Amino acid sequence: MISDRQLRRYGVTQPERIRTLFESSGLSDIDDIDSLEMCADIEQFAVFCARAHDECPSLIKLLQNDAATARRLAVVLGFSSWWGDYLLQHPGFFLPDAPGATKLCMTDELQRLLPKGWPATAADGALESRCEEAASYLRMVYRRRLFDIIADDLLAEDPYAPDHVESITERLSLAADEALQGALYIASRPEAPDAEVPLCIIAMGKTGGGELNYVSDVDVMYVLADSSPTEDTEVTRSRLERATRIASRVASICSSPGKEAPLWSLDANLRPEGRDGALVRTIDSYRAYWERWAQNWEFQALLKARPCAGNMEVGARFLEYAAPFIWEASARPGFVDEVRSMRAQVENSVPPKVRDSELKLGVGGLRDIEFSIQFLQLVHGRNDSQIRQRSTLGALEALSARGYIARTDAAHLREAYAFLRTLEHRSQLLRMHRTHTLPTGLRQLERLLRSLHGMPATVEQLHEQLRALRLR
């Protein structure tokens, strides 16, 4: 039986209540009591177990019989209330044949659900049903990947370590890549089998940099191969229309309501002319826009551009044509003043009442670090290809190695970035919602601190560290 002493060691203030909850769940004799060692909120986990006893007995059996999974469940469910609700609604999530449980290649299973020879008629009810089934499968596979990443993150001994933070964000970005590739496969099925569309999805922003958040928009652009010189105008128009239909379906598969909750908002507003511009463009169309209309911030955004799904040859050509525009941007009139003005606008956009809890915007925040690094890349990257890196930490390391940033300054920025990203991730995980500020509730803040193994130990110390970052 779980003793009062053990429960108090894990931060419980009402041992009797917690013990009663565990006993009512059938877990009073749980063998692997150390599975609670890193649980940030024992009470929240105990309440979940009491609910699961009635609503999802298979999860209780899992907790009783699988010590490794019990440990991972304890850290995730003791931190995030969202995941407790989700698992109770998906009792088969951890079954051996659950989506993603065996690390099955997502596209292989989608090909089983939607073989390429399936009748490609948009009005075909059977096809629509199959597409919906495939989309639900895709979303569940993604969440299996996501659960594993979260558990590994919360179990990490040193959550602030830059290498650990980089690993987590890379895994999140790869999971998004896999989801986009699967969504593109599903979205292409209603088109005629003989009408292959050479379309590539370009990841932008944090997704492109391989540094995605737990809860964030996924920024993309869509690029279509140029038409051949001999291609008929009507054929070119038809190809562009098909590509646009596919891109629209990709967004719906990832972001629209369905049997399974949406993955994230798929945001294509970084494309030329934003939401008013064409959703899909050819490479030639992008080049024409860059030559005549593009603003400096658009070239800065292209620093992160990365082909992530679809026709990678088209994506490679897109990057080849984009590179000269990116690395000559700093020579454009007013470049330095414009970048400084944008940075000041971001800093001034933070309301005073949330300034102490803001992690992304404002002086010393994540955006400040990213802007500084990108500015140095754009200025010096014209003549030094070694610093042309997509990720923030990768670019920082390259800038330091090439002498553009002092090693001591680079080390400080690296630690500050990892510290802020860790806090940002923990804040998002609490309820799986998009946020860049620390929670305001005392209990949530204390749960966040316990997940960081007591460093800092108190809410006051946490805010002191954040203030110190802004003063440097």
Per-residue pLDDT of the chain (472 residues; tens, 9 = 90+): 567 887 787 778 888 888 888 888 888 665 445 567 788 999 999 999 999 999 999 899 888 888 888 889 999 999 999 999 999 999 888 876 666 655 545 667 777 777 766 555 555 578 888 889 899 999 999 999 999 999 999 999 999 999 999 999 999 999 999 999 999 999 998 887 666 789 999 999 999 999 999 999 999 999 999 988 777 788 789 999 999 999 999 999 999 998 899 999 999 999 999 999 999 999 999 999 999 999 999 999 999 999 999 999 999 999 999 999 999 999 988 888 888 888 888 878 888 888 888 999 878 899 999 999 999 999 999 999 999 999 999 999 999 999 999 999 999 999 999 999 999 999 999 999 999 999 988 889 989 999 998 788 888 898 888 888 775 5
pLDDT computed for residue 439 by the predictor? 92
Nearby residues of 68 by Cβ (< 8 Å), 6 or more positions away = none
3 state DSSP class of 437 = strand
CA distance 293 to 273: 9
CB 166, CB 115: distance < 8 Å: no
CA distance 29 to 36: 13
CB 313, CB 280: distance < 8 Å: no
Nearby residues of 214 by Cβ (< 8 Å), 6 or more positions away = 146, 150, 172, 425, 428, 429, 432
Q: pTM, whole model, 2 decimals?
A: 0.94
CA distance 360 to 354: 11
Q: What are phi and psi of 394, to 5 degrees?
A: -65, -40
The alpha carbon of 307 is separated from its chain's Cα centroid by a whole number of angstroms, namely 16
The alpha carbon of 315 is separated from its chain's Cα centroid by a whole number of angstroms, namely 21
3 state DSSP class of 30 = coil
The residue behind tokens 């995605």 is 212
Vertex 426: Cα angle to 443 and 71 (nearest 5): 85
Length of the chain in terms of residues written: 472
Q: Looking at residue 257, what DSSP letter applies? A: -
The residue behind tokens 């454009």 is 332
First to last CA, the chain: 50
Whether omega for the bond prior to residue 119 falls within 30 degrees of 0, making it cis, is no
pLDDT computed for residue 104 by the predictor? 46
